[in-house]
Amino acid sequence: MKLTHRSSEKKVNGRNNNIDFSDPNIKIIALAGNPNTGKSTVFNSLTGLNQHTGNWAGKTVTHAKGSFYYRNQHYVLVDLPGTYSLLANSVEEQVARDFICFNQPHATIVVLDATCLERNLNLALQIMEITPHVIICINLLDEAQRKGYFIDLNSLNIQLGVPVVGTIAREGKGLEHLKDITYQVVNNLITPKPAKLIYSSDIERTLEKITPQLEKLLGERINARWVGLRLIDGDQSLLNAIYEHIDTFPELKKESEVLKHYGETKQSNILG
């Protein structure tokens, strides 16, 4: 079945895109990455013909989801739009950010291009600030090898604190390992502990003040430190998205005025 735009707007439990998050037997996996990192190649290899495409609810951005089974477990894989960041500078970035933030997939696989890791790691580090359930997939290892790069996967794993898998998706190499690591993460056999980025002392001091308050408002549904960082950055679009998903924040529903206050406080005031 091909999802029409209309059917892709159907909501399940108040959430978008026809994915049944309430089914405890289905593990939802998001695939994120910069454009051209081989994300769709990974997606196609894992899901084969079991795919549906449509649009993200209310957006002109293509949405692809597919499913596969591994070790008797049913996985739904969601191919997020290719983005360089999650700062919501574009509708694609907004869609990717909102899916990771509010739909809380069981794991997010971030596909990186092995030939330009430095640029690609930017997105990976941003996602690691939102969720600990991250798996790094370093793809295009053949291209990296051709260019004479040696990627120390083990060292990256240790430094980032999350599992790192090397792949050559076009040749299907490393994908069994990727599935196995995904299985281990979603079944808590591996607990990723993403390295925490430490910011300048004024930002850290501000975070110390506001994060506990945000935690009270947001509960465990969303990473309060990350929301704090976005607020310091003056990211109004995240606040808007939180309001849109207000049903998922029972505490916030009671006290939404308090968060609004943060939104109205300018960056200079917060830091001052």
Ligand X SMILES: Nc1nc2c(ncn2[C@@H]2O[C@H](COP(=O)(O)OP(=O)(O)O)[C@@H](O)[C@H]2O)c(=O)[nH]1
Judged by the rule CB under 5 A, the positions of this chain that interact with Mg ion are: 39-40
Residue 12's beta-bridge partner residues? 15
Q: Give rounded-to-5 percent helix, strand, coil for the chain.
A: 50, 20, 35
Residue 172 is a binding residue for ligand X (CB under 6 A)? no
Instruction: Give the DSSP letter string of 62-89.
Output: EEEEEEEEETTEEEEEEEPPP-S-SS-S
- Nearest residue to 117 via CA among 146, 156, 65, 162: 156
Is residue 169 at the binding interface for ligand X, with CB under 6 A as the rule?
yes
Contacts with 154 (C-beta within 8 Å, 6 or more apart), sequence order? 164
* DSSP designation for 16: S
* Type of residue numbered 143: E
Q: Does 117 bind ligand X (CB under 6 A)?
A: no
What's the Cα-to-Cα distance from 69 to each of 42, 79, 149, 248, rounded to whole Å?
15, 17, 34, 29
- Kindly indicate which of the ranges 55-63, 120-128, 164-172, 264-272 contains the residues binding ligand X, using the contact rule CB under 6 A: 164-172
Residue 143 binding partner per list Mg ion, ligand X, none, with a CB distance cut-off of 5 to 8 Å that depends on partner kind: ligand X
Selection from ligand X, Mg ion, none that 54 binds (CB < 5 to 8 A by kind) is none
Complex with Mg ion: residue 79 or 235, whichever CB lies closer: 79
139 binds, among ligand X, Mg ion, none (CB under 5 to 8 A by kind): ligand X
Q: Quick check: helix, strand or coil at residue 118?
A: helix
Q: What is the DSSP letter of 195?
A: P
Least separation in angstroms between CB 38 and ligand X: 3
Quote the least distance from Cβ 236 to ligand X, whole Å: 29
Nearer to ligand X by C-beta: 171 or 202? Answer: 171
Residues between 39 and 58 that touch ligand X (CB under 6 A): 39-41
Q: Which residue from 193, 180, 267, 183 is spatially nearest to 231, judged by alpha carbons? A: 267
Least spacing, CB of residue 243 vs Mg ion, in Å: 30
Q: Is 140 in the site for ligand X (CB under 6 A)?
A: yes
Number of residue whose CB is nearest ligand X:
38
142 is a contact residue toward ligand X (CB under 6 A): yes
Rounded CA gap, 149 and 58, in Å?
Answer: 42
Give me 205's structure tokens: 């001091």
Stretch that binds ligand X, among 31-39, 59-67, 228-236, 245-253 (CB under 6 A): 31-39
Q: Which stretch binds ligand X (CB under 6 A): 65-73, 117-125, 152-160, 165-173?
A: 165-173
Residue from 17, 37, 45, 94 binding ligand X (CB under 6 A): 37
What residues numbered 63-92 form the site for ligand X, per CB under 6 A?
82
Footprint of ligand X (CB under 6 A): 33, 35-41, 82, 139-140, 142-143, 168-170
